Chains A and B, each alone.
Chain A
């Protein structure tokens, strides 16, 4: 069975603050993929990043960075110098590999950036 836990239901920060969204996952597979998606108020989910289980290298993309640690089964997402446009619901997801694909999403973290 797979499970994704996003313990933070809602977070509010003031613009320009840094914020970290937590994601903890469970899987028995040795090969899997982890994702983050953003769902803005308009509703449509947008892909942010994909990581495979063999690549623990952290990644930075502009103000976004991701920290993948297999030892703690975590894939955390940090937004530096947050902006109002970052306000959205952020989902972490786990995709097993192989023919019987199953994708498990966390329950999401609603981020509100206050101007």
Chain B
């Protein structure tokens, strides 16, 4: 079946602009995760959804970051007033349920100029 998809694959934006990143999880997966991976670095956990709910948003780096999930499926990560330090690859993953193995999308490479 189809894996996790993310769009766009690449995004170049000017500092101060807003961007929206999209994630389509595997059908039937109730858990969805967002991570940020800077060049050559590990994965920074941003947020977790169980269904449409995100019990803990403390992983989001600042209040410029927000995320939502609708219909227990598609999720969007929005970054307002982008800064150069936001440049990274943003990865989305889904799993059957919390604590299960995650299946990752190809990521969105964000470059803020």
What per-residue 1/0 map shows which CB atoms of A23-56 lie under 8 Å from chain B? 0000000000101010000011111001010000
- List the A residue with the shortest CB-CB distance to B109: A43
Q: Is A99 in contact with B101, judged by CB distance below 8 angstroms?
A: no
Of the candidate stretches B15-23, B48-56, B79-87, the one touching chain A is B48-56
In the complex, whether B31 has a CB less than 8 A from a CB of chain A is: yes
Tell me if A47 and B107 are in contact (CB < 8 A). Answer: no
* B104 touches A (CB below 8 Å): yes
Chain B: residues with Cβ within 8 Å of the partner, total of: 25
Residues of B within 8 A of A108 (CB): 42
State the Cβ distance, A37 to closest chain B Cβ, in Å. Answer: 8
Q: Are B100 and A50 closer than 8 Å at their CB atoms?
A: yes
Q: Is there a chain B Cβ closer than 8 Å to A104's Cβ?
A: yes
With A50-B100, A99-B50, A103-B33 already in contact, 19 other A-B pairs whose C-beta atoms are closer than 8 Å: A35-B101, A44-B105, A44-B107, A46-B104, A47-B101, A47-B103, A52-B99, A91-B42, A95-B99, A97-B98, A97-B99, A99-B55, A100-B56, A101-B31, A101-B48, A101-B98, A103-B102, A105-B45, A106-B42
Query: Which residues in A have some Cβ–Cβ distance to B below 8 Å?
Result: 33, 35, 37, 43-47, 50, 52, 91, 93, 95, 97, 99-108
List the interface of chain B (C-beta within 8 A of A).
31, 33, 35, 41-43, 45, 48, 50, 55-56, 59, 89, 91, 93, 98-107
